[in-house]
Structure 1
Amino acid sequence: MSSVEQQTFPQQKPQRGWFGRNWWWVLILILVGGFVLCSGLCGGVFCLVIQGLRSSEVYQMSLAAVTKDPVVIEKLGEPITDNWFVGGEMNVNNDQGDARLQSSIQGPKGAASVATVARRIGGKWGLTRIEVTFSDGERHVIELDPDQAGGGMDDAPPWNPSGEAPGEETP
């Protein structure tokens, strides 16, 4: 009699599905996609804030005053152009507010930074101070005409921490 030998084959592991084979790449794709999405969102918000400052009435008034100032024109030459970045803050509460902006300008002869301070009273912006610092370190404060200055410092009384009205005497 012949005996038939039974052959036993090693048991194979069940074949993994697509996700089982590629889960690492899916994870990397999700992480990179999330990073790109967050970066794009942050960059978009940053650009919106910069564009908001650049299109503000305060910035436009400041840029107009700087580009017309004879000292700035003499030091930087013409045409004077602004750079894309504007930094600072604007606080508005109903018809009052204040702003402090920093920007850069350049001309054929050099570059400078501009610091602008403004305030808003009765819904109207007025420039309080514009200081230009040239690349050689020289500073120039631009004299503001009454239209740009929003009436100057006389349109609001000075702050009195004691709470007394001007002209009142304490008993």
Structure 2
Amino acid sequence: MPPLPRGWWQRNWKWAVPLAVLALLSVALVFVALVLFAVRGSMQSSDVYADALARARAHPDLVVRLGEPMTPGFMPMGRIDTSTEGGGSGYADLTFTLSGPHGSGRITATAERMRGVWLYEQLVFMPPRGIDGRIDLVERGTPVGPADALP
């Protein structure tokens, strides 16, 4: 009796398994990239991030220290929680890097939203470790955004 012919899997498993693993890894990588870009986009479109970046770029001491143009890092870190109850409340705690021709550092923005208005708890530039020179960019209670845009 002649031997049974080998099936497709028996003939091709040596290249099919690595190809299937590679395909699964590619799908997972695309999914992670989509999630990261969605988070990055939502952070960068927030009022607190946009205002913190604009204030940092306009602060005279920071312009001297970092030089122009100043560019933010790729991925802001932190969280933004908002609610529409009670006229709009929320909390933001963001950190992002800012670099210029003369150096770089980290911007930390903490703000609270009450009745629809964001107020800074702090907006601070921190240089790299071991270098003195913390710069407070706003006073506590400063509204986020231009003063004439507030209700």
TM-score (norm 2): 0.82
Q: 1:137 to 1:146 in 2, by over 3 A?
A: closer
| Structure 1 CA distance for aligned equivalents of residues 144 and 117 of structure 2 | 10
Larger radius of gyration: 1
2:72 to 60, 68, 82: 82
| Structure 1 CA distance for aligned equivalents of residues 44 and 107 of structure 2 | 13
Give the match's secondary structure for 2:98. Answer: strand
| Structure 2 CA distance for aligned equivalents of residues 150 and 99 of structure 1 | 18
2:107 is equivalent to residue 114 of structure 1:
yes
**Partner AA of 1:139 in structure 2:** R
| Structure 2 CA distance for aligned equivalents of residues 90 and 108 of structure 1 | 30
2:133 to 118, 134, 138: 138
2:55 is equivalent to residue 65 of structure 1:
yes
The structure showing larger relative contact order (alpha-carbon pairs under 8 Å, at least 6 residues apart) is 2
- How far residue 40 of structure 1 moved from its aligned partner, in angstroms, is 1.2
The 8 Å contact of residues 124 and 135 in structure 2, kept in 1 or not, is answered as yes
2:3 to 13, 26, 31: 13
| Structure 2 CA distance for aligned equivalents of residues 52 and 111 of structure 1 | 24
| Structure 2 CA distance for aligned equivalents of residues 121 and 57 of structure 1 | 14
TM-score (norm 1): 0.73
After superposition, the C-alpha distances for 1:115-169 in whole angstroms (9 at most, x for unaligned) are 0001111122232211101232421111348443899xxxxxxxxxxxxxxxxxx
**Partner AA of 2:135 in structure 1:** H
Give the match's secondary structure for 2:144. Answer: helix
After superposition, the C-alpha distances for 1:51-81 in whole angstroms (9 at most, x for unaligned) are 2111111100101111111111111112222
Aligned to 1:128: 121
Q: What RMSD over aligned residues (CA atoms) do the two structures have, in Å?
A: 2.2
Return structure 1 stretches of 4+ with deviation > 3 angstroms: 144-151
**Partner AA of 2:4 in structure 1:** P
